[in-house]
Structure 1
Amino acid sequence: MDNIYFFKEDCQFDLRKLKKHKAWLNRLANHYNYEILELNYIFCSDDFLHKINLEYLDHDTYTDIITFDLQEEADESHNIESDIFISIERVKENANNLNSKFLEELARVMAHGLLHLIGFKDKTDEEKKEMRLAEDKAIELL
């Protein structure tokens, strides 16, 4: 399981809380017949993620997650290489707004990024519904 790495930038967050998440993320990818070659989760502040959103996506908004697919070619290999940035502040606020536990909301957001890499989308209402169902199933796997 040396294929998933956790980092933090510009935030206070105890990465030890995520010990079981590496095996879970690998199970989730395998469930959809994908293999994680390298997956980096970078937990950060709102400001840090906002700067990335401006610089790379030209979006002047705050968000909870940005996923960068690092696969060299768009092929059918079902391999995953990615950097996923998650704002700890945004996840905490979302958890409060949804009356959810922080670690559950964090797991949902982590799964959300991986599900995008697997091919799930969330632009239309139908896609959002499918994504939410996949997130719920992912939480059950945890």
Structure 2
Amino acid sequence: MINFNYETDFNLDNEEAIAFWLSNVITSENKKEGEINYIFCDDEYLHKINLEYLNHDTLTDIISFDYTMGNELSGDVFVSVERVKDNAVDFNVPFEDELKRVLVHGVLHYCGYKDKGEDDELLMRSKEDEKLALFHVER
């Protein structure tokens, strides 16, 4: 089950379509969907988590806590809406596209993809692009 929680005034317009897409991403990686919680917040909220749990004194767009057991993906994904908005401007892409990239990034981490080294980062970007192409909003 994919859940969306809000610690800021932001709200997803299309929760159902996003959840459906993320479920398809999980299936496409031959994984099972456990409980994945997305928590949308601001920079300050995520910075505190980054300091407290990871000992990093930096701003970031996403922090994911992985509770995956075997093939069943579960975890908490914290997303700074402020960072995503800034990154969308920096990368010259629509906010909605950058947000989807961040959302799928968390799931891909749970699938075992990393992004610390150059090769891992290239593979992660490729997987993000592949999974973004799966997104279709049902009308």
TM-score by length of 1: 0.92
1:66 equivalent among 59, 63, 68? 63
1:81 paired to 2:74: yes
Deviation at 1:19, TM superposition (A): 2.7
Give the number of aligned pairs. Answer: 135
Residue of structure 2 in register with 1:44 after alignment? 41
Match of 2:4 in 1: 6
Runs of 4 or more consecutive aligned structure 1 residues displaced over 3 Å after TM superposition: none
Aligned counterpart for 1:107 among listed residues 100, 113, 116: 100
The aligned residue for residue 23 of structure 1 is 20
Partner of 2:129: 136
Of 108, 111, 120, 1:118 maps to: 111
One-letter amino acid matched to 2:15? L
Distance 2:20 2:31 in 1: 14
Name 1:92's counterpart in structure 2.
85
Over residues 6-33 of structure 1, what are the superposed CA-to-partner deviations in whole Å (9 max), with x where a residue is unaligned? 0111x22122333301010010011011
What's the CA shift string for 1:56-83, capped at 9, x where partnerless?
A: 1111110000000123x5xxx2101100
Provide structure 2 residue ranges, at least 5 long, that are not aligned to the other structure: none
Paired-residue identity, %: 45
Aligned residue type for 1:38:
E
